[in-house]
Structure 1
Amino acid sequence: MLTVWYNTRCPVCDAGIVRQKRRLIEAVKAGRIEFRDINFEPAALAGHGASLEDIRRRLHATDAAGELLIGADVAIAVWEVTPGEGWLATLFGNPAVLPLTRFAYDRFADLLYAWNRRKGRW
């Protein structure tokens, strides 16, 4: 199972996950993917070395093997199981494009995190 940890206090993050949940209803019901709010379990990924602030800054997930995924790698893993979005995973997860995907995701996440902090969403 893919377990995605996200921050519901961020309106952009929350809206994105709500959209994905709607697209993945069957996968959620079947137990193939789960979305969890880190604000209810702030130490959930401490064993992986991820703090609450790390997860507020970037999406985090654990895969079926218990491996930690961070940032763009989480988005790619979600796209892989989302009907009609596998092409996004193929395009942005391509080994030649992946470094740019990660860079772009991280810069966007940094800006979003700073915006949320300025708005007091913690």
Structure 2
Amino acid sequence: MAELLTVWYDGGCPLCTREIALMRRLDRRGHLRFVDVRDDTCSCPLDRGDLLARFHVSDAQGRFYSGAAAFAAMWRAIPLLRPLGLLALLPGATWALERLYRAFLRVRPKLQRWMRERERHGG
């Protein structure tokens, strides 16, 4: 059986909650445990601000992965996405994915506002 990973996500982010909903559906074998960092009952092992600023995944040994490395670890835990997670292990792949992730983080606030407006207006 694959190792259980904990996925730390921002439950106040409409982009994040949609992606996590998809990951929950794809995680048919139960290899992922999802923790909403915004939940007041969350016992955050890292600074809450750090967990909210970037995507994080931790493994059973307590190792944390952040950004692109976290996505790749999560993908490897889901059979359908495992090939993407394995490709991310190729030399240079995580570096390139991390650059894309950092570019996404720059536009994330605008995307969040757009999605909140869309949800507010029933779209």
Where on the TM-score scale, by shorter chain, does this alignment land: which range? 0.7 to 0.9
Q: Percent identity?
A: 27
Partner Cα distance (2:99, 2:80) in 1: 24
> In structure 2, what residue type is equivalent to 1:45?
P
Alpha carbons 1:10, 1:116 under 8 Å: kept: no
Unaligned runs of 5+ in 2: 117-123
Query: Aligned match of 1:115 in 103, 110, 119?
Result: 110
TM-score by length of 2: 0.78
> In structure 1, what residue type is equivalent to 2:86?
T
Unaligned runs of 5+ in 1: none
The answer to whether residue 101 in structure 2 is matched with residue 98 in structure 1 is no
Partner Cα distance (2:26, 2:37) in 1: 21
**What is the Cα deviation at residue 4 of structure 1?**
0.7
TM-score by length of 1: 0.78
Partner Cα distance (2:83, 2:99) in 1: 20
Q: Deviations over 1:51-83 (max 9, x none)?
A: 322222211121111011111111101110112
The answer to whether residue 40 in structure 2 is matched with residue 37 in structure 1 is no
The answer to whether residue 6 in structure 2 is matched with residue 11 in structure 1 is no
CA RMSD of aligned residues (A): 2.2
